[in-house]
Amino acid sequence: MNDTFYMYSTRYRDTLISLLDRSRLAESLTADLFVPLHCNSSHSSSKGIDVYVHRTNSNEENLKESIGMGLSILEESTLKLGFKKRGVQFANLQVLRENIPYRSSILIEVGFVTNTDEADYFLKPNNIRAMALAILIGLYNYLNI
């Protein structure tokens, strides 16, 4: 990885971009990292931030980096923003499965839209920016840019 850090967004409004197209975009950009952000939901009163990685045998180095990035982002976002740390978990999600052979890949669930406190938090643009900054600082800390 070089010292230049570019970020690309797949969506700028509430439109559906297929999972396959998201993976294709990462491939066409020759991305070093793949970090989609989502909001979770639950039938219970769940709260907190989860990071998901795909367990793979195809690229152990990308798996190790993915776990390390996830832990760094969790540390930064929960310490600075006060969200509950739910941990790094393994999941067989399509976007992770398609990206992990080629690049470090994590999926961040930044909170629960079904939790009133967390849903209200993201109604304020400054809070969205704070979460984005915490994620960026977590990446920065891990990558030592």
C-alpha 76, offset from chain centre: 13
User: What per-residue confidence (pLDDT) applies to 20?
Assistant: 87
Q: What is the CATH number of the domain that holds 102?
A: 3.40.630.40
Residue 113 lies in a domain: yes
DSSP state of 48: S
User: What per-residue confidence (pLDDT) applies to 88?
Assistant: 96
User: What per-residue confidence (pLDDT) applies to 56?
Assistant: 77
User: What per-residue confidence (pLDDT) applies to 68?
Assistant: 96
Residue 75 lies in a domain: yes
Residue 87 lies in a domain: yes
User: What per-residue confidence (pLDDT) applies to 15?
Assistant: 82
The three-class DSSP label of residue 50 is strand
Find the length of the chain: 145
Q: Which of 27, 42, 35, 11 lies closest to 114 in space, CA to CA?
A: 42
pLDDT by position in tens, the chain (length 145): 456 667 777 777 788 888 888 888 888 888 999 999 999 999 988 999 999 999 877 788 999 999 999 999 999 999 999 999 999 999 999 999 999 999 999 999 999 999 999 999 999 999 999 999 999 999 999 998 6
Q: What is the number of domains present in the chain?
A: 1
* Structural domain boundaries enclosing 89: 32-143
Identify whether the C-beta of residue 128 lies closer than 8 Å to the C-beta of residue 81: no
Q: Give pTM, 2 decimals.
A: 0.90
Residue 22 lies in a domain: no
